[in-house]
Amino acid sequence: MMKNLLSVKPILTTALLMLLSSGIIAGIGIHGCAGAPVKNPTVYVNGSGSVELVWKSGTSEVYSADVFVNLGGLDTATFTPSRGWHIETVLFDGNSQVILDEDGFSLINIAVKRMITVTFVENGGVDDVDTGSNTAANPDPDVGLIFDSVLIDGYAYAFLFGLEQDDQISESWDIQTTATFEDNITIFLVCNLADLPSGMDPNDLALWKTEWILGDVNLDGIVDGEDQSIIANVNPDEPIDPIMDLNYDGVVNNEDVTICSHNHGLESIWVQLESWIVIEGDFVYVYGATSSLSIFGVTKRK
């Protein structure tokens, strides 16, 4: 199921494939000379992802670790990063290749190449959102999004937020996007089964959503006197923590204390979304649909 939802983006246009097969595009380093000696490739994989090799015979293999391939007659190499990762570099015989799509692409007619090196890098909280329908974005290995329809592309952001309330949400993510979209977004958070409390059924997990309340600077879910005290005692000689600059004027002063006081008593209320569960290997994927992005966390259903 996940494989279909998070399928690799279209590999290459037909026109571009024709150019590649004829060796016209400079910089790709592709050779297809008739009668050239066949060299067995060596594959080096750095990071989390895979390389699929297809030989002239039609045989194909997928590699996710360094390997010497002794089959000869190589025809195609396809590079696929793991969810939450992207392709940073691809080298053929030490020559850098043009990354046509960092979320996955193929190069063809590379029969005489003998060394392939690909480096995958974690997205680090940010991923591209492309125009289209059922568009997937994976800003972090623990966070993914599927957009019903993207009208204008942009970026998806997902950063660990740390907002808790009554010890129910132990980990939460602030998820935003600059892309213009319509209809819903499917959010999914990923949990390692080994990290769940002993005896918990992963099918009992649910996705929750809340909003950060302006002034909750210690992220405990409520604006109170402790938050006011923290803001009032900020050392002006230390770098500004943006979460305490409540009016976004570049300084933390009495105006921020006043804003915090005005919101005294307000709480971040977690709302349970309709959720569904997919378990694959050592991981559980907790899905939920939403029309707006905010802060999300996973915990047991009520």
CB atoms within 10 A of CB 143: 26
- In tens, the pLDDT along 16-60 reads 333 333 333 333 333 333 444 455 788 999 999 999 999 888 889
Task: Please check whether residues 12 and 115 belong to one and the same domain.
Answer: yes
Of the segments 37-51, 164-178, 276-290, which one has the largest average pLDDT value?
A: 276-290
Task: Please check whether residues 85 and 148 belong to one and the same domain.
Answer: no
| Least confident range of 53-67, 106-120, 241-255, 274-288 | 106-120
Distance CA 206, CA 218 (A): 25
Task: Please check whether residues 160 and 293 belong to one and the same domain.
Answer: yes
Task: Please check whether residues 28 and 116 belong to one and the same domain.
Answer: yes
Q: Which domain holds residue 8?
A: 2-122
Which residue shows structure tokens 């999004």? 145
**pTM of the model as a whole:** 0.73
Distance CA 24, CA 192 (A): 46
Distance CA 243, CA 172 (A): 16
Residue ending a domain, among 122, 145, 175, is 122
Distance CA 8, CA 98 (A): 18
pLDDT for the residue 190: 94
pLDDT for the residue 128: 93
Over its C-alpha atoms, the chain yields an Rg (Å, rounded) of 24
Of the segments 52-56, 177-181, 193-197, 198-202, which one has the largest average pLDDT value?
A: 177-181
- Give percent of the chain with pLDDT exceeding 90: 58
pLDDT for the residue 226: 93
Task: Please check whether residues 160 and 105 belong to one and the same domain.
Answer: no
Task: Please check whether residues 251 and 287 belong to one and the same domain.
Answer: yes
Task: Please check whether residues 243 and 198 belong to one and the same domain.
Answer: yes
Which residue shows structure tokens 């939920």? 288
Q: Are residues 250 and 240 in contact, defined by beta-carbon separation less than 8 angstroms?
A: yes
Task: Please check whether residues 259 and 192 belong to one and the same domain.
Answer: yes
Residue ending a domain, among 122, 137, 161, is 122
Phi first, then psi: give them for residue 260, nearest 5 degrees.
-60, -45
Q: Which helix (H) or strand (E) holds 123?
A: none
pLDDT for the residue 167: 62
pLDDT for the residue 301: 81
- In tens, the pLDDT along 124-152 reads 999 999 999 999 999 999 999 999 999 99
pLDDT for the residue 11: 38
Q: What is the CATH number of the domain that holds 158?
A: 2.60.220
Work out how many domains the chain is built from and give that number.
2
Task: Please check whether residues 84 and 110 belong to one and the same domain.
Answer: yes
Structure tokens of 188? 């999914």
| Closest C-alpha to 67, from 118, 7, 2 | 118
Task: Please check whether residues 113 and 168 belong to one and the same domain.
Answer: no
Task: Please check whether residues 45 and 86 belong to one and the same domain.
Answer: yes
Structure tokens of 280? 């694959």
Task: Please check whether residues 224 and 83 belong to one and the same domain.
Answer: no
Residue ending a domain, among 89, 122, 155, is 122
Q: Are residues 245 and 217 in contact, defined by beta-carbon separation less than 8 angstroms?
A: no
